[in-house]
Amino acid sequence: MLISNAFAQTAGAASPTSNLMSFLPLVLMFVVLYFIMIRPQMKRQKETRNMLSALAKGDEVVTSGGLAGRISKVGETFVTVEIAENVEINVQKGAITTLLPKGTIKAL
């Protein structure tokens, strides 16, 4: 015979570094996602929780509805906010978005 038989070579063993290198982009993506999205969100939640737990009578706040006023009573879950002279509203603590510096609201 003029043509010899051709036999396929056996595949070499996969090196452990190739498996690690295939997962490296996925791991890097999760690390970047953590530092860009998850960590700042957790930090913001912690600051908001600390602000809501530190609310006291006389603090000036802005609610999520845009109402600005001065706190007259603080309860466990609700806060009474004076938005005008002799006009008070009850809002949930979670509805308070911003704590204003003292003296910001002068017309009360």
Which burial class, exposed, middle or buried, applies to 22 when counting CB atoms under 10 A from its CB (0-12, 13-18, 19+)? exposed
Strand order in the sheet with 78-84: 87-92, 78-84, 68-74, 60-63, 96-100
Helical H segments across the chain, by residue range:
16-33, 39-53
Categorise residue 58: left if φ over 0, alpha if ψ from -120 to 50, beta otherwise: left
Report the top-level CATH class of 56-100. mainly beta
Question: Taking the domains of the chain in order of start, what are their residue ranges?
Answer: 15-54, 56-100
Rounded mean pLDDT, 57-74: 95
Global pTM reads 0.67
Q: What is the pLDDT of residues 84-102, one digit of tens each?
A: 999 999 999 999 999 999 9
Looking at the predicted structure, is the pLDDT value of residue 64 above 80? yes
43 CB-near residues (< 8 Å, 6+ apart) = none
